[in-house]
Chains A and B, each alone.
Chain A
Amino acid sequence: QKEVEQDPGPLSVPEGAIVSLNCTYSNSAFQYFMWYRQYSRKGPELLMYTYSSGNKEDGRFTAQVDKSSKYISLFIRDSQPSDSATYLCFGAGGTSYGKLTFGQGTILTVHP
């Protein structure tokens, strides 16, 4: 079983929509959670880094962690065409704190 499972998408939304990207995880030792964004032919870019449960907001982005249900979400408000990218979620902590194991991520397209 993968430690983090991500909704595969792809996701296509109109500009201005609220986007919800979701992941579940199985490792109870995870304490840190990360969202990266990757544009085509670019390196993964750290979007959000959160510790434990709760919400963290940064501009149009909100990361939410629910440790009781092992659920991670990223919300994008007022989505823009420039948000079109692949989004990847990760958990870390306990003995699992080294390499990142990438999945395919969720491909988001925001059309004008």
Chain B
Amino acid sequence: EPEVTQTPSHQVTQMGQEVILRCVPISNHLYFYWYRQILGQKVEFLVSFYNNEISEKSEIFDDQFSVERPDGSNFTLKIRSTKLEDSAMYFCASRDPSLGPQHFGDGTRLSIL
């Protein structure tokens, strides 16, 4: 069964450094999402992306964050200058054009030192 894949599974970065999290959505999906989950808390929406532009973003998704679909298969989340509070699991999700359910990857654990 097709699945969403995320790399790396664990990323350790120094505070202030830039980090790029990568996702390969399911191939025929057109809607893409990033969520994050701080340890012990609920999953929070960050941003949705469709037709090469952001369709919705949360208050968490400030100027330090950006998303890109650089080619036909990858979807990336960039954090420009990481902070300690960016430490979390980051999940990518995708959805097909017929408005089916979202499918999630297994996440990238981001640890900021």
Contacts and interface: CB of A to CB of B under 8 A. Distances in A.
A80 to B, nearest CB: 21
Contact of B44 (A45, A49, A102, A105): A102
B109 A41 contact: yes
A40 to B, nearest CB: 10
Contact of A100 (B4, B99, B102): B102
Query: How big is chain A's contact interface, by range?
Result: 20 to 34
A32 interface: yes
Given A41-B89, A41-B109, A101 B104 contact: no
B107 A42 contact: yes
Contact of A43 (B99, B100, B101, B106): B106
Contact of B48 (A34, A99, A103): A99
B45 A100 contact: yes
Given A34-B101, A49-B100, A97-B99, A43 B91 contact: yes
A104 interface: yes
A15 B93 CA distance: 32
A98 interface: yes
A44 interface: yes
Interface string B44-86: 1100100000011010000000000000000000000000000
Contacts of B4: 43
Contact of B45 (A36, A99, A103, A104): A99
Interface of B: 4, 31, 33, 35, 42-45, 48, 55-56, 58, 89, 91, 93, 99-107, 109
26 contacts: A32-B99, A41-B89, A42-B107, A43-B91, A43-B104, A43-B107, A44-B91, A44-B104, A45-B104, A46-B101, A46-B102, A46-B103, A49-B100, A92-B101, A97-B99, A98-B31, A98-B55, A99-B33, A99-B48, A99-B56, A100-B33, A100-B45, A100-B102, A101-B45, A102-B43, A103-B42
Interface of A: 32, 34, 36, 38, 41-46, 49, 92, 97-105
